[in-house]
Structure 1
């Protein structure tokens, strides 16, 4: 058994398809299938069961998975050691994040890290859902609540604030908002209720709002509605400086605090490169949240 075969095995296990694994490995699916067949023949056991849903690990595949992941970690550690740990960061690191963080914080934070490490390639995957790190959808993820399952490590990065807000042009054309009851006559902007993927994102129900006139699963879409004067919504304080004309409302009545968490594979704690990047990322996010919130 060689490391190249194990890499193919891991790719299929995580993608749950030959085509998905092939895209990641940059080889055609037929080649992936032949490599898996060769590995199964060598081990004398089927590693995957094919179904309409894709390739699922058999019992033998499940047992091999742990060994393959440990081999992957060992190879990564060896590469780091041979490359030297004290130099600049290099290679590719993919971060998964909810789109609020991905749009208004990560671009400038990651750009500064790459500026200091020119051989580093950072990829930001902005999706309004929880990332599956066990399938290597990302090397690390930003979450709004700590996970309670899986072989993961969790580090709290920072708290952040959210407030009710509207554009000044909208407010000039509508009756003043002096109490929560005054919100009843206004179009409210928020999440699609059945697409809220984390209870920490259920902002409006916590604020006593029961009906949403304009809804999206994307924070950026919600923010753009508020920015263009379509109604009233809960916005991140750190997003407000990215535009002009927004005004916070009922600050003494509705003020929410949430937190960002850095979520990583437990085994990646052994990798100096990942530790150094994680430290730079967390420090950068803390500083950027503080800077932007001071401006709004």
Structure 2
């Protein structure tokens, strides 16, 4: 959701330079490694301001072709006979991203630290994995499964250094970015209902 939101912000503010650093790590805002960060958990230490942007949903999904060629999945225990796509367990830097452990899956035969790579593995019939609902409109061949049994909710948080509250330009950017993300997630998730 971030690229489309940032593209609109850039069009409205042509003098604004936006650099998106998509690394699986925590940035130290106190050392000014970034002006702001969007995270999946709220930090509990440091001189930071944290604002919840929005909740988002995740479900298990797989490609239609994969599901047609594989054993039927009716219950969570049926996942044991399927190839699972997910994060590399040793590279999960935030407990909120440990989706598969949350649903009781221990082995991840197709793994990446990139959610984009995971999505593409699923799109190409690699197996079953947890997918952000807001990503599904961009992957129309993926089908959500076990939606009545496995549904995860997570949140995005805007994180800034406490001293930046008086920076009106940065505050406006943070507000615009938060509003855009809320709107985009709501719009994309609404297309699934």
Q: TM-score, normalised by structure 1?
A: 0.64
Query: For 1:137, what is the secondary structure of its paired residue?
Result: coil
Give the corresponding residue for 2:153: 257
Deviation at 1:284, TM superposition (A): 0.3
Deviation at 1:151, TM superposition (A): 1.1
Q: Which runs of 5+ in 2 are unaligned?
A: none
Query: For 1:247, what is the secondary structure of its paired residue?
Result: strand
Give the corresponding residue for 1:145: 41
| Superimposed CA distance per residue, residues 170-228 of structure 1 (whole angstroms, 9 cap, x where no aligned partner) | 01111211111111110101111111111111101111111111111111111111111
Query: For 1:263, what is the secondary structure of its paired residue?
Result: strand
* CA distance, structure 2, for counterparts of residue 214 and residue 129 of structure 1: 21
Structure 1 residue 110 corresponds to structure 2 residue 110: no
| Superimposed CA distance per residue, residues 267-292 of structure 1 (whole angstroms, 9 cap, x where no aligned partner) | 11011101111110000000000011
Query: For 2:21, what is the secondary structure of its paired residue?
Result: strand
Query: For 1:110, what is the secondary structure of its paired residue?
Result: helix
Structure 1 residue 208 corresponds to structure 2 residue 108: no
Give the corresponding residue for 1:89: none
* CA distance, structure 2, for counterparts of residue 183 and residue 151 of structure 1: 43
Root-mean-square deviation (Å): 0.9
Aligned positions, number: 192
* CA distance, structure 1, for counterparts of residue 115 and residue 28 of structure 2: 20
Q: Which has the higher helix share?
A: 1
Q: TM-score, normalised by structure 2?
A: 0.97
CA contact (8 A) 2:86 2:112 kept: yes
Q: Which of 80, 84, 95 lines up with 1:188 in the alignment?
A: 84
Give the corresponding residue for 1:292: 188
* CA distance, structure 2, for counterparts of residue 236 and residue 137 of structure 1: 28
Q: Which of 200, 220, 227 lines up with 2:123 in the alignment?
A: 227
**Where has structure 1 moved over 6 Å in runs of 4 or more?**
none
Give the corresponding residue for 1:16: none
| Superimposed CA distance per residue, residues 59-98 of structure 1 (whole angstroms, 9 cap, x where no aligned partner) | xxxxxxxxxxxxxxxxxxxxxxxxxxxxxxxxxxxxxxxx
Q: Which runs of 5+ in 1 are unaligned?
A: 1-104
Deviation at 1:135, TM superposition (A): 2.4
* CA distance, structure 2, for counterparts of residue 136 and residue 215 of structure 1: 32
* CA distance, structure 2, for counterparts of residue 215 and residue 153 of structure 1: 33
* CA distance, structure 1, for counterparts of residue 149 and residue 49 of structure 2: 35
